[in-house]
Amino acid sequence: MELSVQDITSVDKEITIKADRSDLEPKFNKAYKKYKKEIQMPGFRPGNVPVGLIKKRFGKEIEMEEINTYVQEVYENDIVPEYQPVGETQMKDLSWEDDKLEVTFKVGAKPDFELAEIESITVDKMVHDVTDEEVEEELERTLEREGNWVEVEEGEITEEYRVTVDAVTLDDDGNPVEGEKDEDQKLDLRDDSTADFRENLVGKKKGDVVDVSFGDEDKTDKFQLHVKKVEKMEKATLTDELAKEQSNGEAKNVDEFKSFLKSRMQQYYDQSADDMFRQDAMEALTKAHDFEVPEVMVNQIQNSYVEYAKQQTGGQLPPNFNEEEYKENLKDQAAREGKWVFISEKLQEKFDDIEIGPEDIEEFIGMESARHGVPVDQMKGYYAQNPGQLENLRNSIRENKVFDKLNDAVTINELSKDEFRKKREEESEEKES
């Protein structure tokens, strides 16, 4: 048996296994002896079928099975210890002709790089303390969600109303287009998305017919709106009972409910800030390191994106889904994700005091059970029955601890909520341009 290695890039290799019948003969002979005892054929007593007949009838299948086993053993015993592949190794070719075996694997190698100076990396972080004004705004939204739309029979339409209309499409001459009528369209005039309709409907009344047009000189769409119903929002009344209901009993009165809302809103902003810090830290660190990611690893991550897309559509991709185009569009993202895997590994070596204790696992499972709405005991049972998932859990905890360390190690650029949002919008516009 002979192994040869060709370096494609600094992190991509092609490893070829070459062998001949003399390397595989012991396996073949052992397999034939095994099948001689098992195979039954008319005219022969069990265990007495001639090996020559077995080879003639089943030799190709038996030998191919042993070849596959041999290749797997060589990969695990010779390639893995020596080259330590990363990512999902791909078998490019396997041929067995004229008693000669040749197999080529495409494997990924761990990139060789030095960790950048973490302290020199600056990461934005949103810092926001929830104000009483924001609490009042959220309180108003809560009262509106619990309120009701009440029909208004008389009077002019205002910007605070919701209007139900039948929208009839008109042709260039102002005549209704047959078959193009949208009935019972609800337009909440408080919503910015209905601004064009609002301009035409304010001041009108129930039963009016209103002509509207949208577009420019090149293309104008004309409609006739038949006002069928006018409603006004009547918000719920803030009471101690409503406070108890909306807080699942955590607040006993209105004042406690306001404190409850403020606490929940602050938790939301803190969690959002942490999530965005993680993304920004990953982005900054991947930009600060210049090394190649094995192609097999990028492909593996791209395939995981496709699998996730399948899950989102009930396990089956849409008929017109272009899988290759989808993966190509996400190739850069997959490369960044792959790069982060190696950077995170280096960070865990740098922060060598990271330890995972029973209390960390308990806390993580508690958060997962809350996130999925599953009892803690049931979540523990799930991990107990799935050892592989337990290792993923430990990796997630380790990753969380890495970000906790990064929060102290990198240079933090604190921004207010408005400053952070504005900067994000500017960066998004820059990327689009």
Q: What is the set of domains in the chain, with CATH numbers?
A: 2-108 (3.30.70.1050), 118-129+247-432 (1.10.3120.10), 148-234 (3.10.50.40)
**What pLDDT is recorded for position 370?**
80
Strands (E), 32-85: none
* DSSP states of 112-166: --PPP-GGG-EEEEE--PPPHHHHHHHHHHHHHHTSEEEE--SS---TTEEEEEE
Predicted structure pTM score: 0.76
**What pLDDT is recorded for position 392?**
84
Q: Is 182 helix (H, G, I), strand (E, B) or coil?
A: strand
Nearby residues of 394 by Cβ (< 8 Å), 6 or more positions away: 356, 361
**C-beta separation of 15 from 83 below 8 A:** yes
How many Cα atoms sit within 13 Å of 413 on the Cβ side? 12
**What pLDDT is recorded for position 219?**
78
Question: Using one digit for the tens of pLDDT, what is the confidence trace for 29-61?
Answer: 999 888 888 888 887 877 788 888 888 888 899
Q: What are phi and psi of 190, to 5 degrees?
A: -80, -20
**What pLDDT is recorded for position 391?**
81
Q: What are phi and psi of 271, to 5 degrees?
A: -65, -40
**What pLDDT is recorded for position 356?**
87
Helices vs strands, H then E, count in the chain: 14, 11
**What pLDDT is recorded for position 158?**
95
Total residue length of the chain: 433
Name the residue with tokens 């996130």. 371
Enclosing H/E stretch for 221: strand 220-234
Q: Is 386 helix (H, G, I), strand (E, B) or coil?
A: coil
Cα–Cα distances in angstroms (integers) from residue 213 to residues 157, 182, 219, 316, in the given order:
19, 16, 10, 41
**What pLDDT is recorded for position 323?**
94
**What pLDDT is recorded for position 115?**
95
d(CA 116, CA 403): 16
Q: Measured on CA atoms in the order 360, 365, 368, 369, is the torsion positive or negative?
A: negative
411-415 and 122-126 beta bridge pairing: parallel
**What pLDDT is recorded for position 56?**
86
**What pLDDT is recorded for position 182?**
92
**What pLDDT is recorded for position 27?**
93
Work out the number of other CB atoms within 10 angstroms of the CB of residue 263: 14
**What pLDDT is recorded for position 179?**
87
**What pLDDT is recorded for position 10?**
95
In the predicted model, residues of the chain with pLDDT beneath 70 are 217
Question: Using one digit for the tens of pLDDT, what is the confidence trace for 178-187?
Answer: 888 999 999 9
